Amino acid sequence: MNEKIIKDKLVENFLKYLAIPSQSDDKNEIIPSSPGQWDLAKVLAADLEDLGLVDININNFGVVQARLPRRGDRSRSIGWVAHLDTVDVGLSDQIHPQIIKAYDGKDIKLNEEITFSSKDNPEVLSYIGDDIIFTDGTSVLGADNKAAIANIMTALWYLKENPEVDHCEIFIAFVPDEEIGLRGSRKIDFDKFNVDYAYTIDCCELGELVYETFNAASGTLKIKGVSAHPMSAKGNLVNPIMIAHDFISMLDRAKMPEHTENREGYIWVTDIKSDVLNLRLDFNIRNHDREKFEASKAYLYQITDLLKERYKKALIEIEISDVYDNIADSMNDENKVAVEKLREVFKCLDIEEKIIPMRGGTDGSFLSTKGIFTPNYFTGAHNFHSNKEFLPLDSFYKSFLVTLNLMQDDF
Ligand SMILES: [Zn+2]
């Protein structure tokens, strides 16, 4: 099958899934958090059926799961997870992409007001001559993560169209609400996701490969002080704001997001709300290193104890809960082949690998807590979560080839 036919199919699928608005909404507690994700889930379930998958199901949380039985003697069972939602960063939820054919290196007028400048985005210059998909300036492009969905669906289509091609048993999970705390991947029916390992396709430019993410926890400090009239405040008033001030002043300023990079972890105070009596302070803890991560938690418990000693009349409580784990922690001798295969495929396809310890999490970080090692590879897009997001077609195609090769597993 020639490259042009596959590229056309990739673009057709991408535009089809982009046309269904599916921004997640972090203010909604329900999963999925937006009706568009249901719509997309239904369309995908129908498409999976057309492609010959079995055990297709949409559960109560909008998670679409399906299975493609193996063909030939490939022994492995491999999963692919992609997310249904696009991110809400205050831009429109309607996505109207534009395809610039044979990009010439000049600035692109995304709309009357917004220009994509090659000076501000010099990385685009490595795609001169390539077709590139841009936004119309009013929204993100949504390659995060609909390029992944289109990629997987196109690979499944290829396998259907080419019945002589053998492949592994393939499990698919399309999950909602990744962008608002990896909520959807928690709702996968893991009894029906019997994989040796899995993949997400949820990072950016050509060659990116992630199998290390943060360990993540979030927490809340609650302080109830003692209020008093100024007439009798002396010796009685306990101001929760001043206690929170002590708490913050005991955090290491050098270990905050604004001062850390690469594998350096941090504590991030993200919110504080108070009146004269009650205060609530929210924070996040992130670290690639499990020991340092646990040490950060222990330190916060320790300073809370110290404050309880110091302010005996106040009620001080701290709560910390884990959000996700470092993908690398679920890697073992059996499943590490997932990364080895990926690197081999990159080599075969002449893709230069860019291994990144990700300062964030992917759906794989939650799967990791379930013992399913889930590395993450590139969609091919740049500038995720921005109206300057763009997807060079050649990189998109290479990402597809990676998926197809992994499904075939014959190298
Ligand atoms: Zn994503």
pLDDT for the residue numbered 9:
98
Distance 297 CA to ligand 1 centre (A): 27
Distance 84 CA to ligand 1 centre (A): 9
| Cα 328 from Cα 213, distance rounded (Å) | 7
Tell me whether strands 197-203 and 376-378 are parallel, antiparallel or unpaired.
parallel
Alpha-carbon torsion (392, 398, 404, 409), positive or negative: negative
Q: Record the pTM.
A: 0.89
| Cα 229 from Cα 366, distance rounded (Å) | 49
Nearest residue to 402 (alpha-carbon basis) of 104, 25, 10, 32: 10
Determine the residue type at 24. S
Distance 41 CA to ligand 1 centre (A): 16
Alpha-carbon torsion (120, 126, 128, 130), positive or negative: negative
pLDDT for the residue numbered 86:
97
CB 97 within 8 A of CB 139: no
- Active site includes 282? no
pLDDT for the residue numbered 368:
86
Count of C-beta atoms within a 10 Å radius of residue 406:
23
- Active site includes 352? no
pLDDT for the residue numbered 57:
98
H or E element, residue 379: none
Distance 177 CA to ligand 1 centre (A): 10
Distance 202 CA to ligand 1 centre (A): 5
| Cα 78 from Cα 156, distance rounded (Å) | 13
| Cα 154 from Cα 152, distance rounded (Å) | 5
CB 269 within 8 A of CB 244: no
Burial of 165 per CB tally in 10 Å (0-12, 13-18, 19+):
middle
Distance 34 CA to ligand 1 centre (A): 16
Rounded to the nearest 5°, which phi and psi values hold at 258?
-70, -10
- Each residue's pLDDT expressed in tens, for the chain with a length of 411 residues: 799 999 999 999 999 999 999 999 999 999 999 999 999 999 999 999 999 999 999 999 999 999 999 999 999 999 999 999 999 999 999 999 999 999 999 999 999 999 999 999 999 999 999 999 999 999 999 999 999 999 999 999 999 999 999 999 999 999 999 999 899 999 999 999 999 999 999 999 999 999 999 999 999 999 999 999 999 999 999 999 999 999 999 999 999 999 999 999 999 999 999 999 999 999 999 999 999 999 999 999 999 999 999 999 999 999 999 989 999 999 999 999 999 999 999 999 999 999 999 998 899 999 988 999 999 999 999 999 999 999 999 999 999 999 999 999 987
pLDDT for the residue numbered 410:
82
Determine the residue type at 384. F
Q: Which residues contact 25 (CB under 8 A, 6 or more apart)?
A: 33, 34, 88, 180
Distance 200 CA to ligand 1 centre (A): 9
Distance 278 CA to ligand 1 centre (A): 36
The vertex-57 CA angle with 54 and 58, nearest 5°, equals: 150
Distance 231 CA to ligand 1 centre (A): 56
CB 205 within 8 A of CB 354: yes
Distance 83 CA to ligand 1 centre (A): 7
Distance 272 CA to ligand 1 centre (A): 28
Determine the residue type at 37. Q
Distance 26 CA to ligand 1 centre (A): 15
Q: What are the tokens at 61? A: 């949380």
The residue annotated as part of the active site, out of 25, 88, 144, 178, is 178
The residue annotated as part of the active site, out of 25, 47, 85, 169, is 85
Cis peptide before 57 (omega within 30 of 0): no
